């Protein structure tokens, strides 16, 4: 018994310093936690977005180009070239991150992991990188990189959801640095944004930076039950003190089984060019079931305003409209479907077929040419959203 007591006493003598040290460290950690809480007791962070997204597809393109001209002798001539392209392609691979910091600050970040063709600067492939301060439920201020405030439902849709599109949509360098003042009314039906940002023309000609060009954008989003709007009035500086004006009218009807939108975009550098340079586009969606959506989309564009300006030290003439070349019209139409499995709706299977035609009309001048390029595209693919929020423990979500 005495031996047992001696052994126990020896063990206690050995363990006591470690116990005291552990207790001291524990008290120190608790003290630091209290100090952190005292420094900023209102600090809270919550992830609102944390996922990867990608879209892959098998695509087949049939390109047919036709041209014709009138020779100096008055003899018409024509020709055609047919090309076939097919193969697997990846359109998007994006990382998205967003969250709320406290009760007033939020942020959002979207990075295209696959860079744009011919571009090596990392920041060029950052679509969104902004921070927003919410003064109250009505007023907010946002600073950073985002899509400039232009209306229209095709423009507003995430690019990964747009399969085939207008020439205007495909040539708009819309993600630019700037700042926005945002107002929401108490009903939640109306949002007004005043946005000042770099102009798209800062990187128009040769992918070099042109400083001192800004855009001024006034945007209204309205939601009135079945009817919603995305309207904007935009002034984009293409040369210092000279602007091209957008009037964008986006209208949408939405019901349980179907929805349709119609966008009209008028572009003009002066009053004489009104209604000569514009885009119209519409899409109809029919939700056949909770998993299946069928859609049809089409549009028409033209630019017969033929306004140009002198650019650079070499004084060469450039189209003011970067979204549609002068003396061209363009139309497209197509049908498609989307399927989301009920067991895993973060996976989407799609298929579509669409035809697009770019046309240069012939004029009365003998040497002028008429050209028409028709492209028939068929695509079958899959889109996957890997939402990390679904796999994180609950304690990391708050």
> pLDDT tens across 265-280, in order?
999 987 777 889 999 9
- 8-state DSSP, 241: T
Domains of the chain in sequence order: 47-397 (2.40.160.10)
- The predicted pLDDT at position 67 comes to 76
pTM of the model: 0.84
pLDDT, one tens digit for every residue, the chain (398 residues): 554 455 445 544 544 554 555 555 555 555 555 555 554 656 688 889 999 999 999 999 999 888 766 555 555 566 788 888 999 988 899 999 999 998 899 999 999 887 555 454 557 789 999 999 999 999 999 999 999 999 999 999 999 999 999 999 999 989 999 999 999 999 989 999 999 999 998 865 555 555 678 999 999 999 999 999 999 999 999 888 899 999 999 999 999 999 999 999 999 987 777 889 999 999 999 999 999 999 999 999 999 988 887 766 566 677 889 899 888 999 999 999 999 999 999 999 999 999 999 988 765 444 556 688 899 999 999 999 999 888 776 555 55
Alpha carbon distance 260, 223 (integer Å): 14
- The predicted pLDDT at position 182 comes to 98
- The predicted pLDDT at position 389 comes to 85
- The predicted pLDDT at position 122 comes to 57
Place of tokens 């423009």: 155
Given a contact cutoff of 8 angstroms between Cβ atoms, the answer to whether 252 and 279 are in contact is: no
Alpha carbon distance 315, 239 (integer Å): 13
- The predicted pLDDT at position 120 comes to 47
- The predicted pLDDT at position 316 comes to 67
- Return contacts of 206-210, CB within 8 angstroms, 24+ apart: 207/118, 207/119
- The predicted pLDDT at position 31 comes to 54
- The predicted pLDDT at position 224 comes to 94
- The predicted pLDDT at position 140 comes to 97
Alpha carbon distance 383, 170 (integer Å): 20
**Residue 33, helix vs strand vs coil:** helix
What lies within 8 Å, CB to CB, of 127 at 6+ separation is 94, 110, 111, 112, 145, 146, 147, 175
Q: What is the pLDDT of residues 192-214, one digit of tens each?
A: 999 999 999 886 555 555 567 89
Q: What is the mean pLDDT of the chain?
A: 84
- The predicted pLDDT at position 4 comes to 43
- The predicted pLDDT at position 47 comes to 87
- The predicted pLDDT at position 26 comes to 55
Q: How many CB atoms lie within 10 A of CB 345?
A: 11
- The predicted pLDDT at position 372 comes to 85
């Amino acid at each position: 018994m005495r031996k047992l007591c001696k052994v126990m006493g020896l063990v206690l003598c050995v363990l006591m310093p470690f116990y005291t040290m552990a207790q001291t460290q524990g008290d120190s950690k608790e003290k630091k936690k209290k100090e952190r809480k005292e420094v900023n007791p209102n600090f809270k962070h919550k992830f609102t977005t944390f996922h990867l997204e990608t879209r892959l597809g098998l695509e087949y393109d049939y390109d047919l180009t036709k041209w014709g001209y009138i020779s100096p002798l008055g003899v018409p001539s024509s020709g055609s070239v047919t090309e076939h392209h097919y193969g697997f392609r990846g359109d998007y691979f994006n990382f998205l991150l967003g969250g709320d910091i406290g009760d007033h600050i939020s942020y959002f970040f979207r990075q295209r992991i696959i860079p744009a063709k011919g571009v090596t600067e990392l920041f060029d492939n950052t679509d969104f990188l902004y921070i927003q301060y919410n003064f109250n439920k009505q007023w907010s201020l946002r600073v950073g990189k985002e899509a400039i405030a232009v209306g229209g439902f095709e423009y507003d849709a995430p690019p990964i959801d747009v399969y085939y599109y207008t020439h205007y949509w495909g040539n708009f360098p819309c993600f630019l640095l700037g700042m926005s003042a945002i107002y929401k009314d108490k009903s939640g039906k109306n949002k007004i944004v005043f946005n000042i940002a770099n102009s798209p023309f800062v990187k128009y000609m040769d992918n070099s930076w042109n400083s001192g060009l800004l855009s001024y954008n006034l945007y209204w989003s309205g939601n009135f039950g079945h009817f919603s709007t995305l309207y904007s009035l935009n002034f984009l500086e293409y040369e210092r003190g000279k602007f091209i004006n957008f009037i964008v009218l986006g209208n949408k009807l939405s019901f349980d089984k179907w929805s349709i939108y119609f966008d009209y975009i008028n572009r003009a550098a002066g009053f004489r060019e009104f209604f000569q340079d514009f885009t119209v586009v519409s899409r109809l969606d029919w939700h056949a079931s909770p998993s299946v959506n069928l859609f049809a989309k089409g549009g028409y564009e033209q630019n017969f305003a033929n306004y140009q300006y002198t650019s650079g030290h070499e004084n060469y003439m450039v189209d003011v409209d970067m979204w549609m070349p002068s003396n061209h019209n363009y139309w497209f139409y197509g049908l498609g479907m989307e399927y989301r499995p009920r067991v895993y709706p973060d996976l989407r299977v799609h298929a579509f077929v669409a035809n697009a035609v770019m046309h240069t009309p012939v004029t009365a001048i003998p040497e002028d040419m008429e050209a028409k390029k028709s492209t028939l595209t068929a695509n079958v693919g899959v889109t996957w959203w890997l939402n990390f929020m679904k796999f994180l423990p609950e304690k990391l979500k708050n």
